[in-house]
Amino acid sequence: MKKICFLGLFLLSYVVFASEQYPDLLVYNGQIYEIGDYPMETYFRIYPNRRPGTQGINSALLRGYRAKYEIINNELILMNIETMRNNGNWRIVDNRNYLNRIKVSTFSGRINLFNGRITGVFIGFTPIYENYIILEFENGNFIREYEESCYEYLQSIIQLYPNGSYEQNYFIGLLEQLNNMR
């Protein structure tokens, strides 16, 4: 019984002290977007000793940095990486292990740009928006752009998880919340 109470208190404290993370930034078609995707994480999985900053100092910046990207000549380009100082100000990292303004060739996947109003339904701390601009990349090369409504967006996430899994059921529940708001 003591173990169950301790586990319950631990999980409750984890949820209570969880923080929304500072987003990375992407300049696309001249506009700056906050993105909840972290393309440099693929690079830092390959080269963990090159990760800037100290992780965990700020609960809203557990990865230890914020990156800014731009799509230039159909390539995902790292413009800079910043860390947060103790006073809350950002500082651009000057690191010889990676160069700024380089192609992020380790990244393949999607970057989701928020488009439109917030729906009122949240994935954890992250709001679900009315629409998304989806950018697809292969080895840092921009492949294509397309748009998804919030319903299509959630349906595409649902397809990523095994049938009947906790994660899939969670996103199905969010989709039902959206449908009930119509």
Q: What is the pLDDT of residues 90-100, one digit of tens each?
A: 777 766 555 66
Q: In this predicted structure, what is the pLDDT of residue 100?
A: 63
Q: In this predicted structure, what is the pLDDT of residue 143?
A: 98
Q: In this predicted structure, what is the pLDDT of residue 94?
A: 67
Q: Closest by alpha carbon to 34, among 114, 91, 92, 108? A: 114
Please list the residues that pair with 146 across neighbouring strands. 134
**Pairwise CA distance, residues 54 & 51, whole Å:** 8
Please list the residues that pair with 21 across neighbouring strands. none
The radius of gyration of the chain's CA atoms, rounded to the nearest angstrom, is 18
Q: In this predicted structure, what is the pLDDT of residue 89?
A: 74
User: In this structure, what token pair is assigned to residue 171?
Assistant: 């996103």
What is the three-class DSSP state of 171? helix
The bridge status of strand 126-138 relative to strand 109-123 is: antiparallel
pTM for the model stands at 0.77
Asked if 69 and 39 touch (Cβ cutoff 8 Å), the reply is: yes
Tens of pLDDT, residue by residue over 22-34, are 889 999 999 999 8
Sign of the Cα pseudo-torsion (147, 152, 157, 162, in order): negative
Q: In this predicted structure, what is the pLDDT of residue 168?
A: 93
Which residues, other chains included, contact 174 with Cβ-Cβ below 8 Å and sequence gap of 6+? Answer: 121, 123, 128, 154
- The pLDDT profile of the chain, 182 residues, written as one tens digit per residue, is 444 433 333 333 344 445 677 889 999 999 999 898 899 999 999 988 888 866 556 777 778 788 999 999 999 999 988 887 777 777 777 665 556 678 999 999 999 998 889 998 888 878 899 999 999 999 999 999 999 999 999 999 999 999 999 999 999 999 999 999 87
